Amino acid sequence: MNRILYFVALLIPLRAMAGTGVPEMKGENGYVEPFRMFDNVYYVGDKWVSSYAVETSSGLVIIDTLDFPYSMWIPDNLKKLDLDDKKVTHIFVTHGHSDHVGGAEFLQSLYGSKVVMSEKALELAKEQALKSQGKSKFFPPVVESFAEDSSNIVVGDTEFKFYITPGHTEGDLSIDFFVKDNVQLYRAFVVGGHGTNFQKPALAKQFMASMARIKRVAMEDPVVTVNLSNHPHKNNLFSNQELSANDITTNPFISKENFFRFIEQQEVLATEEIKNEHEPSGSTNANKSNQPTANGSAD
């Protein structure tokens, strides 16, 4: 029976890859070279969506998996970073939009990883998977147990704390853990979803409450100093990468001010969007273009 299950598992990646090849690794497709951010954290995402590989004493944890088929770049990125000999033990998904969960099933079937996400996130992932088609067709991952609010999981020498922080979607999962830089530990935070979702108006109020909660949690000692945003433009990732390449004395990814400024920006944007949503229907508003797209996956 185990042998049969093994061969079935081998066939799953082939199903995911059917009808498509690995997208060409070029800037026009959104490809960026992977790079090390900390002693134990690497960027393996693309130009638009973040994906992080966290190295623990028992293997790798991948946080978010990009849209399929661009998630097929992640194994190659791990190889470029000399991490391909590490077991990918876990995959954490921040929410159920395709650009974050699209590659989870592919990577899970490739590595035999445990996928961790909220129950609501999996519900949304299933909805989005049914709508996916063509080269972007993906399947929802298998989730054996769901992340609960204020729960935690220890992977090797690294503890990850989870918070359900709805607002962008109902199942946003924020992640709290420590990164290492020259032996020193710094508290990092991944905010589960950015931007309010007006397809479900109640989420707007939940978003504001979640940002306030994140701010309170992040201020607990030791204070969060690393913003691992799930979109690179939200934490100035590439400009900080350039600074890092030119200065070996300081790590620009470590900044308490940048993290809390990011949270405050999310609150300001949400407040403006809520206000604009309640304007008379005939009013004009440039900020309307910042609202989520048809599938709600703007961020």
DSSP state, residue 168: S
To 5 degrees, how large is the angle CA 290–CA 125–CA 54?
A: 85
β-pair partners for 155: 158
Residue-wise pLDDT tens digits, 234-263:
999 999 999 988 877 889 999 999 999 999
Query: pLDDT tens, 91-115?
Result: 999 999 999 999 999 999 999 999 9
pLDDT-based confidence at residue 279 (cuts at 50, 70, 90): low
For residues 47 and 28, is the Cβ–Cβ distance under 8 A? Answer: no
pLDDT value for 241: 95
DSSP letters, 138-167, are: --PPP-SS---TT-EEEETTEEEEEEE--S
* Residue 137 DSSP code: -
Q: What is the pTM of this model?
A: 0.87
Residues 238/202, Cβ–Cβ less than 8 Å = no
Distance CA 77, CA 7 (A): 26
Given this model, what pLDDT does residue 246 score?
84
Nearest to 159 by CA among 211, 90, 113, 230: 90
- Please state the separation of Cα 13 from the chain's center in Å: 21
Distance (Å, whole) CA 172 – CA 6? 32
The neighbouring-strand residues paired with 180 are 185
Q: Which of 93-97, 134-138, 194-198, 268-272 has the lowest mean pLDDT?
A: 194-198
So what's the pLDDT on residue 56? 98
